[in-house]
A and B are shown apart, each in its own frame.
Chain A
Amino acid sequence: MTRDVKVSIRELYKIFGGAPQDALTHVRAGMGKTELLERHGHVLGLSDINVDIRAGEVTVIMGLSGSGKSTLIRHLNRLIEPTAGQILVDGEDVMTYGEAQLRQLRRERMSMVFQKFALLPHRSVLENAGMALAVRGICREEFEGEANRWLDRVGLSGYGSQYPHQLSGGMQQRVGIARALTSNSEIMLMDEAFSALDPLIRTDMQDLLLELQRELQKTVIFITHDLDESLKLADHLVILKDGRVVQQGEPQEILLHPNDPYIVDFISDINRARVLRVRSVMKKTSATPGEYAGEVDHDDNLESVIACSQGDIGLCYRVMCEGQQVGVLDMKDLVRALVPTRAADDGLRAKATA
């Protein structure tokens, strides 16, 4: 099933500095971030970004600090103006929008969740949740119902009259999410929304997001520097480095076939058995194998299959999806998939330990 493209980023460049257009010609000729800074005193924010964001999916943009993630997401609602390139939302180029159209886009079609919550400290939780509606000129009586509904949904019933500083970080971010949901926009931008939270709360919030996503099918653009988080949430994963996209695609695909030493470094110490799914290592076939030890779901992770097989690598399983066989999983393939891609010699990690 392929969904419609909701937001499309085309040949987007962003250069910070006094004369970005001049610097752009150098970047187009292939100059890198460090060289541009040393030779011309301009910071390369983003370079030749092409990403299609599909409706109803979670697109995760991942990269290390300074790779341009925040810069990229702020282009989508034009909090930052690009140096060159197009941003198409529902096929319309946002760059051609006038002030009123842009405001309408921000008010009704996109909402945003921030790393440091960015709630209005002088407004109650309810007023914060209803902010998107209040901005449109809807009075409190009318947005109250809607705001309360979403506060309930994120688990904050009864907190409406509190103020943000009276809540814990996790609760404040729930208000941030309620605020984005109340706006009823189809697109949600989340800039490191969970990075400021402690690990347990963070897992909670990720689960909440996935649960909401199953129900609401929004187009979510989620930024993170955390690989586990991106693997958990992503339908489509975009990896940024120094303002360029190094690889994008299905997360399982990237895990199994990383195309850059940078990504190999990134994935080299995750628990592959826990994140890899049966569907990405099985052989696709509908022919029932002659002999099989049992049935596994196509979305199970490898860890659960290993537990099931008691470590016996001679076995073979039928892979099922909604009652139908979709493939066959040989335990030998499973073990092969667990062999980590060797960390690149010239990778970041090698440099760090050298």
Chain B
Amino acid sequence: MATYDFVFDRIGLNGWCEGGGESAAGPMSMSDLLAQAAGEDPSSRTSIWELPFPSLDALHNACAAFPQSRELTKGLENGFLAVKDTLKIGLDPLTQPLSWALQSALYVFQTTPWWIMIPLMLAVVLVVSRSWRLVGFVAFCVMLLAFIDHYDHAMQTLAIIFVCAFICVLLGVPIGIAMSRSNAMQRSAIPVLDMLQTLPPFVYLIPLIFLFSVTEPKLYGIAIILYAIVPVIRLTDLGIRLVDKEVIEASDAFGMTDHQKLFGVQIPLALPNIMAGVNQTIMMSLAMVVIASLVSAPGLGVLVLRGIRNLELGVGLVAGLGIVLLAVILDRVTKAALARVNAAHKY
């Protein structure tokens, strides 16, 4: 006798309930298990204070034909498994270039000898920031990492971020532009972006693990890109929408085509915002690359993971500090580039 028996008695669905009796052998719900362990019969509760919400599980107790909530998750799983193969046919070739890009970036970053790599990196820092102080700081950090034998791991992490952030910008800026041009597009994209940003990063590793084999670099590549692409999209959209209405009106009044307006006015004027988005995207890919070490992403994250798994406190802490150093470097360099863009936009 379960709480909601009377509902099914009233509307005369008893026959249908019994017909679906085979699912009575289905899995027990968590609350049933707990109740059983506590030695009480779940159907003996009668007080109004203990009235259970008419959930799937409670209704299942009264009527066996009703599905349990575990069947919902199971259904989702089966559904996913069913479409997985067809999904793979499309997704696999589409994402294969990502694997290649990651593999070759990792190869290049690791096989280039350090005495070429480090000066090259410093040269890049100098070009984007034009600041010798920053170059000195970066040199110090990189040497420090190399000195404590974290150079290889740091390079792996950098290689992954390099590829992923690049792809984020490549995809994110056009998406942002499309959003800025149409309110309908913006309305439909914003919930997706919100979801990507708030979904715990571990959660979207789950379907990816089903789809791709854990040894493929694109698995973590996709996870990082999905997580990190949001800010560059948002800020491109925002930046273009914030461009002075009068300037846009002047562009129209002088007969600019949409193309001239986009590349001659909107993108240049949105550049400070787009650069701020790129900075955030890089920082978020760094955060994700650590989590992605769970699915075989190489780099400093692997050391952190080892620290947790084997309780090697020192290894984990030092690797963690290495990540902080990388984060500071990447942040300072992109901020310096941003500051230069802003200086050119002083109005």
Contact = CB atoms under 8 A, between A and B. Distances in A.
Nearest to B344: A122
A120 B244 CA distance: 10
B254 A132 contact: yes
Given A121-B345, A165-B346, A103 B247 contact: no
A281 interface: no
A88 B268 CA distance: 36
B347 A77 contact: no
Given A135-B260, A165-B346, A118 B252 contact: no
A108 B253 CA distance: 11
Interface of B: 244, 246-247, 249-257, 260, 264-265, 268-269, 344-347
Interface stretch (A25-33, A59-67, A109-117, A149-157): A109-117
A118 B260 contact: no
Contacts of B250: 112, 114, 118-120
B268 to A, nearest CB: 5
A164 B347 contact: yes
Q: Is the interface of A mostly helix, strand, loop or mixed?
A: mixed
Nearest to B269: A122
Contact of B255 (A104, A121, A164, A165): A104
A106 B253 CA distance: 6
Contacts of A105: 255
17 contacts: A77-B253, A79-B252, A102-B255, A103-B257, A104-B255, A106-B254, A111-B254, A116-B246, A118-B250, A119-B250, A120-B250, A121-B347, A132-B255, A135-B254, A135-B260, A136-B255, A189-B253
A166 to B, nearest CB: 9
A163 B347 contact: yes
A183 B254 contact: yes
A283 interface: no
A107 interface: yes
B312 to A, nearest CB: 53
A79 B254 CA distance: 11
Contacts of B265: 120
Nearest to B256: A135
A111 B268 CA distance: 23
Contacts of A135: 254-256, 260
Contacts of A103: 255, 257
A92 to B, nearest CB: 17
B347 A106 contact: no
Contacts of B252: 79, 106
Given A106-B252, A114-B246, 14 more contacts: A77-B253, A79-B252, A79-B253, A107-B254, A107-B255, A110-B253, A111-B254, A112-B250, A118-B244, A118-B246, A119-B247, A120-B265, A131-B254, A164-B347
Interface string A266-306: 00000000000000000000000000000000000000000
Contacts of B249: 79, 114, 118
Nearest to B252: A79
Nearest to B245: A118
Interface in A12-42: none
B340 to A, nearest CB: 14
A329 to B, nearest CB: 45
Nearest to A185: B254
A110 to B, nearest CB: 8
Interface in A155-199: 163-165, 179, 183, 189
